[in-house]
Amino acid sequence: MPAHAFICPNRSQVPIEDCLKQCQQPMRCMFLPTLRSIAASLNRNLEGASVTELISGTRETYLKKMTNYTVDPQTVLYALHGSAVHTLHEQHTAGNMLSEIRLKDAVTSGKFDLYGQILDADEGVLGDLKVTSSYKIMKALGRYKVDVPTGQYYVSGKKKGQMKYSKEWRDDGVRGVGDWSIQLNYYRILLEQQGLAVNRMVIQALCRDSSLRMAAERGIDQAVYLIPIRRIRDEWILRYMQKKAENLKTALAERRLPSRCSSKERWHDRKCKDYCQVAEHCPYGKVLKITASEVKQERPPA
């Protein structure tokens, strides 16, 4: 039971098929092709579970497969950015490379973006395209700011006599690439199962907000970054994904709601409040959403 209805700007719900046939309001809230693309991006694979579905919280994936959920088209447009970038690349992959092939094993299936000679002479590069925020790129690069003493002192004011510091960027912090790393490593395993050697894994991250001041404040001054992904031991990845696949399979067979997504999977509640499409069907998400809307109502006008 995938997403079945769109939410119109006036909050009424309309079955997706009906919306695509004929808008139920005086005028469409966006172009018809845009709505068609959104509808296509929502088509869920109800049989088995893909690598990306297994990486998400088990409860979220379970609810997406078991409930008729509604989607506000305005809130899922970001998914089209990624699809658009994939489509652009698909048209230009002639040469010594493969792209967008779905591979399967006994646990799951996954469609890698690019594989082959995509960066240099190395024919075994697995590439993945991401369209993401400057915040996520900053974290993925392990970039952080430090105070560096300038050797100069304040000569007046409250700080008189104190050392002056300047901010400098460092790139040697902990790299926040957890889910990306699991995803690419699983695609690597799927390729290797087909006898294709993967020598390197690289993410090409396109920054959504690269021209904004916020991105510059995060030390992100390029539109595109290449982020290398390290190899994780096959045993660890396979054990992790097998466990998640088993948990989901059992929950679906028993029609039992899995325990709530982990704190990391639910982005420390941010996803439940604003981004989870099935939050309305999740007891935890529902409570968080009600509490968030009550806090908003109680807040005095600015």
Give the CA dihedral 143, 146, 148, 153, nearest 10 degrees: 140
The single residue among 29, 85, 196, 238 that binds ligand SF4, judged by CB under 6 A, is 29
Which tokens in the block code for residue 224? 């595109």
**What type of residue is 90?**
E
Instruction: Find all residues with CB under 8 Å of 208, minimum gap 6, and list them.
Output: 78, 81, 131, 132, 133, 134
The single residue among 4, 28, 44, 145 that binds ligand SF4, judged by CB under 6 A, is 28
- At its nearest, how many Å lie between ligand SF4 and the CB of residue 65? 12
% helix / strand / coil in the chain, to the nearest 5?
Answer: 40, 20, 35
Measured from the CB atom, the residue of 143 and 271 that comes closer to ligand SF4 is 271
The single residue among 3, 19, 39, 251 that binds ligand SF4, judged by CB under 6 A, is 19
Measured from the CB atom, the residue of 58 and 134 that comes closer to ligand SF4 is 58
- At its nearest, how many Å lie between ligand SF4 and the CB of residue 1? 15
Site for ligand SF4 contains 257 (CB under 6 A):
no
Which tokens in the block code for residue 63? 């609810």
Which tokens in the block code for residue 276? 């989870």
Site for ligand SF4 contains 180 (CB under 6 A):
no
How buried is 206 (Cβ within 10 angstroms: 0-12 exposed, 13-18 middle, 19+ buried)?
middle
The single residue among 83, 124, 260, 292 that binds ligand SF4, judged by CB under 6 A, is 260
Binding residues for ligand SF4 (CB under 6 A): 6, 8, 14, 19, 23-25, 28-29, 35, 57, 59-60, 63, 73, 260-261, 266, 271-272, 276, 278-279, 282, 284-285
